[in-house]
Amino acid sequence: MKILTSLAVMAFAGSLSAQTTYLSEDFNGGVVPPAGWTMVNNNGNTGSAGWISSGDRAWHEDEFNGQSDNRLISPAFVITTPDAFLHFDGETNWAQWLANHPSSIGNGISTMEINVNGGGWIIVWIDTSLNNGDTYSPTVDLGVAIGDSVQIGVHFSGDFAQEWWVDNVVVDDQSGAGGGLVYSITNLVAGATANFSVTGASAGGAVILGYSLAGAGPTATPYGLVDMSAPITTLATLTADGSGNASFSPTVPGGAAGATLYTQGVDLGSGTLTNSLAELVL
């Protein structure tokens, strides 16, 4: 097995246009908070379950045991690029129970927030859904935090109010939401067959997936910083099909339960990094 950075140097030499991904969480591990994340019960309501897993998403239900006030908090990362953006997918139910709804009958508030250098929480996005089942995939400019240490906070507040689902939380230096390289893992269960897939790669090109069990980096490579700590090992070298899709389905070692897999890939055709993943082996 070769180190990912060594493979990258040999396989691709030339001008690089790397995408830098600081945070990527798809909640597919079935555990919320996922590895590296925390949840804070801001008002100490012992009757509140807070953020939980639901269908490979993070979910906060419309709890009825008094005021719920829970923040799901990401690991910290330092923004080193000139631009940075937060992307995520969301869905809202019981929208009329949001406090800012034009016909509000509740006190619910759903916000995406950032904590900069350990200071207070700053709201960068607020849910303004009007209808039950509204879905959205916003892109939020994080230019105020360039050069700083940042955490993302997914903040729910309400008393028998809205329901909120959040998925695919990504912070990178790309202003466009979606449509690019997407790396995902499903069924990462010890002894089972998992699926590792990349979409949006260069058609017919090579995709290298690397992994680490040592931590989330960052580690410098010719393609930019990767969210893996040394030693970084090649997980697979894949060839994308004509639509830019590549996948493989290995058997997860039986003794791997409880380990966290830190993994990221590179599309050699474009010299672009995929999003990174930190997945708990169940």
Rounded Cα distance between 273 and 17, Å, is 9
* Single residue among 115, 142, 172 that ends a domain in this structure: 172
Q: Is the separation of the CB atoms in 154 and 50 below 8 Å?
A: no
Q: What tens digit of pLDDT does each residue of 174-195 get?
A: 876 444 678 899 999 999 999 9
Which residue matches tokens 């690019």?
180
Domain extent at residue 209? 4-19+181-280
Please tell me the distance from the alpha carbon of residue 171 to that of residue 190, in angstroms, as a whole number: 29
Percent of the chain at pLDDT above 70?
91
Q: What is the CA radius of gyration of the chain?
A: 19
Q: What is the pLDDT of residue 180?
A: 64
Compute the distance between CA of residue 12 and CA of residue 156 in angstroms, rounded to an integer.
Answer: 45
- Specify whether 36 is located in the same domain as 156: yes
Identify which has the larger pLDDT, 222 or 47: 47
First to last CA, the chain: 25
CA angle (8, 11, 14) in 5-degree steps:
90
Same domain, 264 and 145: no
Q: Do 168 and 190 reside in the same domain of the chain?
A: no
Structure confidence by residue, pLDDT tens digits, 3-35? 333 333 333 333 334 568 899 999 988 899 999
User: Which of 165, 166, 162 is closest to 64 using CA atoms?
Assistant: 162
For 94-136, how does the pLDDT look when each residue is reduced to its tens digit (9 = 90+)? Answer: 999 999 999 999 999 999 999 999 999 999 999 999 999 999 9
The structural domain count of the chain equals: 2
CATH number at residue 265: 2.60.40.10
Confidence tier at 269 by pLDDT (50, 70, 90):
confident
Q: Is the pTM for the entire model greater than 0.75? A: no
H/E stretch holding 11:
helix 4-11
For residue 62, pLDDT beyond 70 = yes
> From CA 212, how far away is CA 214, in angstroms rounded?
5
35 lies in the same domain as 166: yes
CATH number, domain with residue 97:
2.60.120.260
- Indicate whether 130 and 250 sit together in one domain: no
Indicate the helix (H) or strand (E) that contains 171. Answer: strand 163-172
- pLDDT of amino acid 15: 33
pLDDT value of residue 80: 94
Q: Mean pLDDT, to the nearest integer, of 238-246?
A: 91
Does residue 148 contact residue 78 with C-beta atoms inside 8 Å? yes
Query: Is the C-alpha dihedral spanning 254, 265, 215, 154 positive or negative?
Result: negative
In this structure, is the dihedral angle defined by the CA atoms of residues 62, 64, 70 and 74, taken in order, positive or negative?
negative
Domain boundary among 172, 194, 218: 172
Q: Judge if 52 and 155 occupy the same domain.
A: yes
Same domain, yes or no, for 9 and 42? no
- The mean of the pLDDT values for the chain is 87
Q: Tell me, yes or no, whether 159 and 212 share the same domain.
A: no
In this structure, the answer to whether residues 148 and 225 fall within a common structural domain is: no
The answer to whether residues 123 and 231 belong to one domain is no
Q: Name which of 170, 169, 119 is nearest 144 in CA terms.
A: 119
Q: Sign of torsion, CA 55 44 25 95? A: positive
161 lies in the same domain as 57: yes
Domain boundary among 147, 172, 197: 172
| C-alpha 31, offset from chain centre | 13
208 & 124 share domain:
no
Q: Strand 182-186 relative to strand 109-116: parallel, antiparallel, unpaired?
A: unpaired
Rounded to whole angstroms, the Cα distance separating 254 from 258 reads: 11
pLDDT for 123: 94
